[in-house]
Structure 1
């Protein structure tokens, strides 16, 4: 096997692989032997079909299978010999010349980049302060979380703050809209979970009472299948519950495993402080990466970018109810998502390249202990056994992805430690 490498540009290399004729003959004979044993052609007993008949009858299959096996048997060794590490599946083109057999691989690779200065980057942040108002809001949230839902009975009417269970169906031109309706939808009135016009129509209704409401959905409504459309809804209240808030006192604090209201406030203060510290870490990391990306010229491999964007679009489209969208609406949504995701995916890929280069230069590595500790944490968070988590990552070939993710985190931690953090006055 002869391997030659040509650099096409900073992110593409062409690898030409020429395979000796004896290797090609060996592969062809293997294919022929398999066909001879398996071929079923009328007028011949299994295993007794003449070679000339097999090669004529299965010519296209033999040619295609030969090309497939040439690549399968040699590509990995060829890439190792060429010292080329593709970031996407190489594009294969076969050599069609008399006396020469083989193929070329167009490989996308990570570009060589010259890192800007990455230590001592200045980042300005907000000071971390926890006010009494912050604590009050947190305790107010806990109070609502632990509210008692008491059923309203008799002639009670729904009002803001109540929890209701409703039955509704949407109609267009007098016909039910598929997927826009349910027999039991829970809703807190006043929480603006649904369109305000919809919620307002429920105020004053009693159990078993119905009302019709017409709503025109805006252009930017998340569910693109009904955005810009006018839908008539028939709504019925099936259940009304009043929210009764517990009194905020020492007993309330004890129910939350605190000694008293003072210790509850102390606990909430510390919790909020940790959250703000975590938010600051994210802000610092984002600012550092923005500075580094601006400071270096990084070309992004085209197919790698397209692959990332397609994955992001696929994940998002799966969350939409595609069965309620026309082909035109689905196409428009996909186009909008592509425009939105492309710059984000490009920035993410550039960040990965920079972090990988810094990790290499600084000797930042991920060892088996790092992997083990991360899996233990994931097992605890998901309430699964360590063995289950490990098996999942191995079965779905996610170990490299996990290792790369940990390496990125360690590199970002390094950059944060070396940054100059200044609090705003």
Structure 2
């Protein structure tokens, strides 16, 4: 095998690999000898079929398999000998002119990961904005919960039912004068205007009083669940047993116990914990953006174009989907088209930050444990139909790239937490409005210039990022001098064709 480097510019590499026809033929002959003892052919005893007949029967298949094997082995050897760290799957081309009996001329094109010196983690200074949860905020949330737990009291018998009132009714449904299955119930609560019953049912009970009996006519919707009732006109004999009016829910010990808790103090404690958790998420977002801005401002290096393109395509696809949901999709699309270069700059920033975080993590022993990875796989499997979950789990375990993509967000968060622990953090109390305003300001503020070239102005990322910190795109980069086959040898952005197709995710339930 001969290897000639044809391109070495920046992060781009290209090689011409020549695999001799004699080497390929020798491999085929060795394979023929290997399988000959297992070949059965009429007229020959098992294991006694001549090699030339074996080759005649299976030669085309053996040749194709051998060429594939030597290509894979040659590329693996190239990566190892040249100490290459591919950023994405190399482009491999055998050429249309190759024929059996000729030398195989193989071209290999790829981008390599940049050499990054792990930055010092000393001297980081971050400001942590925290929102103390006040008693007033707890009380406000408590009243909100109480407002959702509506209660009703009996109304005077002369009260005519109106929208928002609750009726306790018995009813019997009939089709052509005959009762139908599932059309009868007693002591059923119904709030007028709630839309709980089929269209036209509740509206005809407006004005009813306690003790009234009436018959109403309704038509079942064409898409009703019960096949025998779709589009059918039915009569319902109704007895109004009680008209009730909404009453204010009193927040007290009994209210807390009605929610399955020990008392009001436990309920307040749970609410306080939820509010603290919500603001803690905002605080982390604000701190992470600070951290990423510091890293982006202090480091500037060339990043693989293929990785940037892949990240940009993800951003752009999300933006296009959001534009399609706008009232004027054409205008929305035109707006993002005008800012296309800015979003490409965002993609480049994310890739650079991802590679940098990866280098920091590897230099400081940050890793995702096998137990954590197993939990990630199980959680991701829940997005699929029950019958497809095991197939998804098997797919991820067999495909290193799929596993790397799943691992990447957790790995990144662990590196960020490591840097938080290393940083000198000062804490300042603010209101939630001030914290949200600070995050909004960081989203729209231009990034600080990097040492060598001006960093692009930051734009708001697609909405999928709105609830999270800005997420660098680059996944866990390979360790230096790693062989391409290893799971960590390529970033997860490297999407090679999967040997097995992952199962389709289950459809979202209609609301």
Same fold (TM over 0.5): yes
Q: Work out which of the two has the higher radius of gyration on C-alpha atoms and give 1 or 2.
A: 2
In 2, distance between residues paired with 1:6 and 1:411? 38
- Residue aligning to 1:108: 111
Give the corresponding residue for 2:136: 133
Corresponding residue of 1:89: 89
Pairwise CA distance, 1:401: 2.5
Query: Is 1:362 aligned to residue 364 of structure 2?
Result: yes
Work out which of the residue numbers 260, 263, 266 in structure 2 matches 1:260: 263
2:405 maps to: 401
Q: Secondary structure at the match of 1:414?
A: helix
The 5 Å alignment of 1:5-404 reads 5=5, 8-23=8-23, 71-72=71-72, 74-92=74-92, 101-147=104-150, 246-314=249-317, 317=320, 332=334, 335=337, 341-372=343-374, 374=376, 388=390, 390-391=393-394, 393-394=396-397, 398-404=402-408
Deviation of the 1:296 alpha carbon: 0.5
Are the equivalent residues in 2 in contact too, given 1:21–1:101 (CA < 8 A)?
yes
Aligned residue number for residue 428 of structure 2: 424
Give the whole-Å Cα distance in 2 for the aligned partners of 1:274 and 1:345. Answer: 30
CA contact (8 A) 1:15 1:107 kept: no
Deviation at 1:321, TM superposition (A): 6.5
Distance change >3 Å, CA 341–CA 144, structure 1 → 2: farther
Report the Cα offset of residue 316 of structure 1: 5.7
Going from structure 1 to structure 2, the CA distance change for 1:68 and 1:391 (only over 3 Å counts) comes to closer
Superposition deviation, residue 337 in structure 1? 8.4
> d(CA) in 1 for partners of 2:195 and 2:338?
36
Gaps of 5+ in 1: 31-50, 52-57, 59-63, 168-182, 185-207, 209-241
Matched-pair contact (CA < 8 Å) for 2:368–2:411: yes
For residues 152 and 87 of structure 2, what CA distance do their matches in structure 1 show?
A: 55
Q: What RMSD, in angstroms, separates the aligned Cα atoms of the two structures?
A: 5.6
Mapped contact 1:16–1:104 kept (Cα < 8 A): yes
For 1:198-219, what per-residue CA distance to the aligned partner results, in whole angstroms no more than 9, with x for missing partners?
Answer: xxxxxxxxxx9xxxxxxxxxxx
How far apart are residue 147 of structure 1 and its match?
4.0
Structure 2 counterpart SS, 1:300: coil
CA contact (8 A) 1:17 1:102 kept: yes
TM-score, with structure 1 as normaliser: 0.58
Shift of 1:87: 2.0
Structure 2: give runs of 5+ residues left out of the alignment.
Answer: 31-55, 154-158, 165-192, 201-217, 219-244, 430-511
Aligned length: 330
TM-score by length of 2: 0.50
Cα distance between partner residues in 1 of 2:8 and 2:147: 62
Asked if the contact 1:5/1:82 (under 8 Å) is kept, the reply is: no
User: Does structure 1 retain, via aligned residues, the 8 Å contact 2:376–2:407?
Assistant: no
**Alignment equivalent of 2:415, drawn from 411, 414, 420:** 411
Confirm or deny: 8 A CA contact 2:118 2:363 kept in the other structure.
no
Equivalent residues of 1:313, 1:337 under 8 A apart:
no
- On the 8 A contact 1:125/1:421 being kept in 2, the answer is yes
Residue deviations 1:341-395, cap 9 Å, x none? 433332221221011111221122333233245557778999989x947446326
Q: Deviations over 1:106-134 (max 9, x none)?
A: 21121112344333311112233111232
Query: Closer, same or farther in 2 for the Cα pair 1:308/1:26, shift >3 Å?
Result: farther
Question: The residue matched to 2:88 in structure 1 has which SS?
Answer: coil
